[in-house]
Amino acid sequence: MGSFSAWHWLIVLVVVLLFFGKGKIPELMGDLAHGIRAFKKGVEDEKDDTSLS
């Protein structure tokens, strides 16, 4: 149960590319980034609302 070698990561990368395809990964990363930004904005709005009380 040690750390993964470079070969393990290469195999994982190949499987991910085969599963999602080359064009789908950037789209997924963009959606993930959009979700993170929306979450951060929601947290900031929540802080602003509670500080006004």
Look at residues 44, 22, 25 and name the one whose alpha carbon lies nearest to residue 33.
25
pLDDT at residue number 3: 79
pLDDT at residue number 51: 64
Radius of gyration of the chain (CA): 19
- What does residue 36 show for φ and ψ, rounded to 5 degrees? -65, -45
Tokens of 5: 């070698």
The C-alpha atoms of residue 17 and residue 32 are separated, in whole angstroms, by: 17
pLDDT at residue number 1: 46
pTM: 0.51
pLDDT at residue number 35: 94
Give per-residue pLDDT as tens, 1-53: 467 799 999 999 888 888 877 778 788 889 999 999 999 999 888 777 676 55
What distance lies between CA 30 and its chain's CA centroid? 8
Residue with tokens 């009380």: 53
